Structure formats: C-alpha cells, structure tokens
Structure 1
C-alpha cells in the first residue's frame, strides 16, 4: 500500500504550506488584475479619439469581465470589423 508524501507530513506543516500557497495565489491574481486594469485604461485613453462608441463599450465590457489580453484583443477587433 502506497502512502502519499502529503499524508506523512504533520497537520501544522500542511496547514502552513496551504496558507503560504493561498497567499501566493492571491498575490499573483491581484498583480495580474492590476496590470490588466492599468493596461486597459491606458489603451482606452490613448485610443478613445480613434474608436467608435460601440468599440469602446465592447472593450470596457470585456475588461470588466476579466478577459485576458489575447482574448480581449481578438474580440475587440471582431467588433471593429463588424
């Protein structure tokens, strides 16, 4: 019978590791969200004069939903081409 390594660790060690992992994940997610929001706002400000109202609304809607840059840009260009 095989016993996983995780089971061999003490409960305090497991709890400490999971807390550390949760903190790390939260920090990475908040950093990604901040950079995405800054990038989107900067992009909107620079290109507002060139974009139609419909395109700006679509871009802001996609950014609020939390799409990644790649998905957001491909969807954005589809709106522009319609």
Structure 2
C-alpha cells in the first residue's frame, strides 16, 4: 500500500515496491471486474496487518488495464485507505 496522499512516478513506484513490504497477510475481497472493450476496471478491497504495530488495516483500490496487442497492461493503479 502506498502512503495516503502520495503520488509516485513509475521509477519511484518500482523502487517503493522493491523494498520489503511493511505488512503481512495481504488478502483481496469484493473484487469487481468491468471490461469495457479494450479497457478493464478492477475495484476491490484489500486487508492486511502492519508489521510495525500489528494493526489490521484495509484499503480500497481501483486498477485500470488496457489491452495492447492482445495483452492486458496495467495503466493506472490507486489504493486508498478509508478514513485517510
């Protein structure tokens, strides 16, 4: 999960996800996929436990994929922790 209110460019995001994750027990729930021709929107809810303090958290997410030359490619991803 990203820090609320932080936007990263591609290089910054790849650096961020390469680091050890600060959480465990990541699970996704309530996933809804809508395919609109060559674009797909994926909405869902993720739950996880923070390693630092053991607190259970959740986030809502929306990922956008586009079909390019027969392959689905993620073109946008957004995760928001409720209440932030």
Give the TM-score taking structure 1 as reference length.
0.23
- Which of the pair is proportionally richer in strand? 2
- Which of the pair is proportionally richer in helix? 1
Larger Rg: 1
